[in-house]
Amino acid sequence: MEGEKLPRISRKGIQEYLNKEMPHVELQNITAKGLIIDHARKGFVRCTFIIPPSASDAHGNWQVGAIATIVDIVASMAICTETAIIRGNVTMDYSISYYSSAKIQEEVEIVAKVVGNKGKLSSIRVEVKKKEDGELIAIAKQWTASNEFRAPWINHPSKL
């Protein structure tokens, strides 16, 4: 799948790809379960997510690690719409600021926008807000680079 190109940028195509369970990425599979893509266009993705009980801390709040993981996933989808490369991007710099919390079963909106793309280097901004009142939960900024890395679990054809 590394370097695989999307035949067409579409919300349905990205949603189908997201719904596939992928080996060796169990955390992402668990975290993204229930993520719905509302809108996708070049350099932009807007998703809706209902926070599951599995993503909560001891107080019933959305756990910050789960927020960071889903923000990374949605940022990757935005890059995919910009570059049409599904896999092979590596996060180079990632910062996230938390402003409020959300409880389990609350609905949130996650918006990712590619703010810059210079060949192999992309900059993405992601905002997470409560769907009900628009209260800001988190803002993230991320830099990624395309990579030709080939994971060891991917079968490579012999050169012989």
Q: Which residues contact 19 (CB under 8 A, 6 or more apart)?
A: none
pLDDT attached to residue 151: 44
| pLDDT at res. 31 | 66
**Residue 8 structure tokens:** 């067409």
- Structure confidence at residue 24 (pLDDT): 45
Does the reported pTM lie above 0.85?
no
Q: What structural domains and CATH numbers belong to the chain? A: 11-146 (3.10.129.10)
- Among 52, 24, 23, 59, residue whose Cα is nearest residue 36: 52
pLDDT of residue 101: 93
Tokens of 120: 């192999």
Q: What is the pLDDT of residue 3?
A: 38
Nearest-10 crossing angle of helices 64-83, 11-19: 130
pLDDT tens-place values along the chain, 160 residues long:
333 333 344 555 555 555 555 544 555 556 667 888 898 888 899 999 999 988 888 999 999 999 998 998 899 888 888 876 666 677 788 999 999 999 999 999 999 999 998 878 889 999 999 999 999 999 999 998 877 554 454 455 555 5
E-assigned strand segments in the chain: 36-41, 44-50, 89-98, 107-118, 121-130, 136-146
Predicted pLDDT of residue 106: 95
